[in-house]
Amino acid sequence: MWITRDSDDESDLQLRAFEKGMIIPHDRLSQEALLGLIEEFVTRDGTDTGYTDGSLEESVEMVKRQLKRGDAVIVYDEATWTANIVPKEDARSISQEE
């Protein structure tokens, strides 16, 4: 499961829905799901993530720090059932396109 819940109340998830995606708070994912998403992100072929200089572990830790600081966010696209990690500024532009 992508999102962990403290209750069955949908409002408790505190998800922000946007036309092009939904921002998922990183602390709402299970540790296993978060690690899988970050590892897939930093090893993604054909994209310049900037995380390829160090080891996988170093890259994962860098992304975790960015998520915790709020410099990056997780965006889930319901249309394609995919998640991506984007800079906070890009997420702001998504919300302004509503």
Domain range 15-45+53-96, CATH architecture: Orthogonal Bundle (1.10)
pLDDT score recorded for residue 12: 40
Higher pLDDT, 51 or 96: 51
pLDDT digits (tens, 9 = 90+) for 33-84: 999 999 999 888 755 555 556 788 988 999 999 999 999 999 998 888 889 9
What per-residue string of b and e applies to 51-72 under the rule 16 or more CB within 10 Å gives b?
A: beeeeeeebbebbeebbeeeeb
- Phi then psi for residue 37, to 5 deg, are -65, -45
pLDDT at 52: 57
- State pTM to two decimals: 0.70
Contact between 83 and 37 (Cβ < 8 Å): yes
Q: Which tens digit of pLDDT belongs to each residue from 1-28?
A: 233 334 444 444 444 444 567 899 999 9
